[in-house]
Amino acid sequence: MVILYQLLINLVIIQSQLLKKKLNYILPVLFGLALLPVPLLRDLHFESAILAGTIGCFWAGIRSASSFKNDFFETLRILGRIYLAAIPLFILALISGCLTLDGVGFWIFIPFPSAFFGTAIGRLIREFKLPAPKLITILILLFCAFGIWVLEFFSFPQVYFYNHVWGLWPGPIYDESVSLTGSFFYFRWLTFLWIILLWIIPNWSQNLQTKLITALALVSLMFSYLNLDEAGIISPTETIQAQLVGDHQTEHFELFYDDEFYSEDEIEYWSARHEFHFQQITEILEIEWPEGRKIESYLYAHAWQKKKITGAKFTSYVPIWLEQDQLHIAKQQLDRVLKHELVHVISKQFGNNLFNGSWSIGLIEGLAEGIAKDASPRSTLHQIVAAEKPFPSAEEMRSSLSFWGFYGSAGAISYTTAGSFVEYLLNEFPVQPLKKIYAGADFESAYRTSFEELISGWHQALVQTELDSVDQQVSEFIFAQRSLFQKECPHSITQELQLWDDYRFHLADRDTTSAHQVLDKLHHITPKNGLVKDEWARTQLHQQKYEEATNAITPNDTLLTLQVLKADALFLSRGFASADSLLQTIAPDIQHSDARNFNYTLELREDSIQWNYHVERRFQNVFPDSLSLENLNLPNKMLSLNKALQEQNSERIHQYALLLANHSFHPDWFDVYEAAIHELAWSGNIDCAKKWLTSVSSLDLRNRYLERLNEQKDWINFTQNNKIVAD
């Protein structure tokens, strides 16, 4: 009986051991399965690799601090469990087509070095026989993971970070393309050196070999850390200024810029724009700016340069957490976002004490959006939100003002909704309560009414907002967008998209030869992509390759702009008759199109004279003289003025503006009117600018156009009263 009892006990022990071994394999897979419903973490990319690296580092560190087993193989076993958790993510990525080499690379080069880094620290503490080795290891790893990051965060203006525990944070989540870079491998080389050094320190004096390895690791680390900025691991302010060598100062700003991409005239203009928006914003927010305090404005050649230096590509940003006021914007985004970003800088004056902002990300962005009003060129913030029913409830607005609620929706939705609400608060109440809640006060104490009442008042304002079909279209477009959290493959960039990005980079970098080569390649691999073919055909016409464009565009190309381009190519290569024959064939489609860009397509090509001036201007940069302009119809006249504005041809702008000052103004040309008024005021032709402003003001304009026109009124007054902006 005793023997049988002993056998049963042994059997239970064996079964439990087998179960334990199985659980060692099953639990990691279950953990991976649990990640599948979680946005971003279910993607086999850097976010899930960060989580895996952090877990692996602490797990290996704690285990090595208390275990006398073989540290190397124990770490490999831990990594084996971690990579088991990656199996469900790998399968999902494979099935959904989201698997990328970069994602696999992050999963190799984040968890693997991080786990051995944790082991090296835990092993060091164990070998030194310090008390409470697990606790000390955890504290050291916490400092490495978060303490060092906090120091970097409050010291540098960059928005990317490298870390020995969790690997890297590549920059703003709006920049979806995240790739393995030389800087990342350089930093992982540093992690490897730390692992070697920490591993060998307990026995560094054992023999000549260990002494040499220790010395080599120390020297390598020293020289590597001396080159952190050059390697792109950190971007101190001094390093950025050394790369943006241009320097220009005004009363409230110091501009640092790439002098190869900005002319002196451009910098004078953008300096004035900085001061103009500064004046607008400080008046709205009722701020007395500290005397002598200057804002540093970093103006990059293009988004790709900004990505390389700061970590943010198409996302313009303000490091509000720094003591020094700064903003970072690429040239192509300046006109669209400068006012928005300046709101962030100036609102630091009433932000919280920790990072100079608001605890509510919705208020941070809502305030900027509510003042800049730049969500759409055609609809106001209220119109965009009012067109999308039902309106957000008080509970939904509380959520959308929070971090997770704000970023849980597409950026355009969150920005617009928060902006509309803040605009309502600015219109209906004094600015002081808004500044209080921005700093951390609750709505009830600041406004002396409930949050629900504020939302109800906002809803009333939305109900009273006039809407039309244009507002509906704009709203539908914005609210149809998906956030990064909602996308199935948030970081999967196709070859076509990568080539398109390369093409845009070369254009921004003013390397048209490389741009055309990339576009040719893109068109070759995606010949049926209408948007790519449209861009390719335009470049062919600009290069006077008319036959190539004509032959490439066939009746099977359903994109209407392609058929119009083919008609232009025929006109340039074979004359009016051949081109007009095609134009008459597609004329019914043009006339029935709802797209604004086809409103004047036929009128621009109504006869050989008009057509000739149109294609010469469009593809050959030929501007009509004064006499020729008189012979053009209104669409050709307005597009000639618009071309002069785009090319910043001051002589033609002033000439055309005078000749067109008495034409029959029409809302269809509002964008051109606005740009003309703006340029005339800047160039000192105030009387002509005011005359145009008066004529445009008499039109029946959309509400958003009225907002934009009021901005130009302020601009005229500013340029008139501030003849010299620079010190």
User: Where in the sequence is the domain holding 421, given as residue range(s)?
Assistant: 358-479
> Is 228 part of a structural domain of the chain?
no
Q: What is the mean pLDDT of residues 133-143?
A: 97
- Average pLDDT across the chain, whole number: 90
> Is 689 part of a structural domain of the chain?
yes
Choosing from 353, 384, 409, the residue where a domain stops is 353
Per-residue model confidence (pLDDT) at position 20: 60
Same domain, yes or no: 335 and 390: no
Same domain, yes or no: 23 and 135: yes
Per-residue model confidence (pLDDT) at position 472: 83
- 106 and 49 Cβ atoms separated by less than 8 Å: yes
By three-state DSSP, how is residue 298 classified? strand
Percent of the chain with pLDDT over 90: 75
Q: pLDDT category, 66, cuts 50, 70, 90?
A: confident
**Residue 469 dihedral angles phi and psi, to the nearest 5°:** -65, -30
Separation CA 425–CA 381 (nearest Å): 13
Q: Where are the beta strands (DSSP E) in 159-259?
A: 161-163, 167-169, 246-249, 253-257
Report the DSSP beta bridge partners of residue 163: 167
Same domain, yes or no: 264 and 187: no
**Following CA atoms 97, 101, 103, 106 in sequence, which dihedral angle do they give, to the nearest 10 degrees?**
170
> Is 221 part of a structural domain of the chain?
no
Separation CA 384–CA 379 (nearest Å): 6
Per-residue model confidence (pLDDT) at position 98: 85
Same domain, yes or no: 40 and 132: yes
Per-residue model confidence (pLDDT) at position 408: 61
Q: pLDDT category, 572, cuts 50, 70, 90?
A: very high
> Is 337 part of a structural domain of the chain?
yes
Choosing from 556, 588, 622, the residue where a domain stops is 622
pTM for this entry = 0.89
Tens digit of pLDDT for each residue in 445-466? 999 999 999 999 999 999 999 9
Q: What is the mean pLDDT of residues 488-508?
A: 86
| Number of domains, the chain | 5
Per-residue model confidence (pLDDT) at position 115: 97
> Is 2 part of a structural domain of the chain?
no
Separation CA 350–CA 358 (nearest Å): 9
Same domain, yes or no: 92 and 137: yes
Q: pLDDT category, 726, cuts 50, 70, 90?
A: very low
> Is 506 part of a structural domain of the chain?
no
Same domain, yes or no: 540 and 637: no
Name residues whose C-beta falls within 8 Å of residue 532's C-beta, 6 or more positions apart in sequence: 496, 500, 519, 522, 523, 526
Give yes or no for residue 404 having a pLDDT over 80: no
Same domain, yes or no: 551 and 423: no
The sign of the torsion formed by the CA atoms of 256, 262, 263, 269 equals negative
Separation CA 197–CA 216 (nearest Å): 9
Choosing from 291, 319, 353, the residue where a domain stops is 353
Same domain, yes or no: 173 and 50: yes
Tens digit of pLDDT for each residue in 31-58? 889 988 888 888 899 999 999 999 999 9
More confident: 416 or 278: 278
> Is 97 part of a structural domain of the chain?
yes
Per-residue model confidence (pLDDT) at position 11: 53
129 — alpha (psi -120 to 50), left (phi > 0) or beta? left
Q: What is the mean pLDDT of residues 587-607?
A: 93
Same domain, yes or no: 178 and 32: yes
Give yes or no for residue 723 having a pLDDT over 70: no
Same domain, yes or no: 160 and 90: yes
Give yes or no for residue 77 having a pLDDT over 50: yes
Name residues whose C-beta falls within 8 Å of residue 505's C-beta, 6 or more positions apart in sequence: 302, 304
Per-residue model confidence (pLDDT) at position 9: 62
Same domain, yes or no: 389 and 299: no
More confident: 207 or 264: 264
Give yes or no for residue 18 having a pLDDT over 70: no
> Is 652 part of a structural domain of the chain?
yes
Per-residue model confidence (pLDDT) at position 484: 47
- Residue 625 in tokens: 């003289």
